[in-house]
Amino acid sequence: MELVSPGALDAPGVAVRGEVDHEAVPALEAALEEAIRESAGAFVIDLCEVGFIDSSGLQVLLRARALLGRGDRALALVCPFGRVRRVFELSGVSELFALYPSREAAAAALVPAD
């Protein structure tokens, strides 16, 4: 697993690459907690380049959602349709997240309406 800047989004966040499994969870959890603490407003986690996520990875994302929720902050997950998105759906947690198929869709949703 690797964390990188989420790119052109106008919100803080991280982009995750590789596999999110029990071995990657401690590093991901620490990185998310730090990035959330050091930012304000909506937060984006880009999963476009994640090839695999297991239940421990979903738990980390649920904890990030809870941490952001304490500050009344939105969490947007960029998660295109495919293998990883299917894990969210099969586990029953897809309804708990704002899932977007692309960075562009997430950016559009996070821009305040005029």
- Domain assignment present for residue 112? The answer is no
Task: Let me know if residue 62 belongs to a domain.
Answer: yes
CATH number for 97 = 3.30.750.24
29 near 67, Cβ under 8 Å? no
- 113: in domain: no
Q: What's the pTM?
A: 0.90
What is the domain extent for residue 79? 2-106
pLDDT tens, 23-67? Answer: 999 999 999 999 999 999 999 999 999 999 999 999 999 999 999
In a domain, 15, yes or no: yes
Q: What is the pLDDT of residues 65-74, one digit of tens each?
A: 999 999 999 9
**Number of domains, the chain:** 1
How far apart, in whole angstroms, are the C-alpha atoms of residue 77 and residue 99?
5
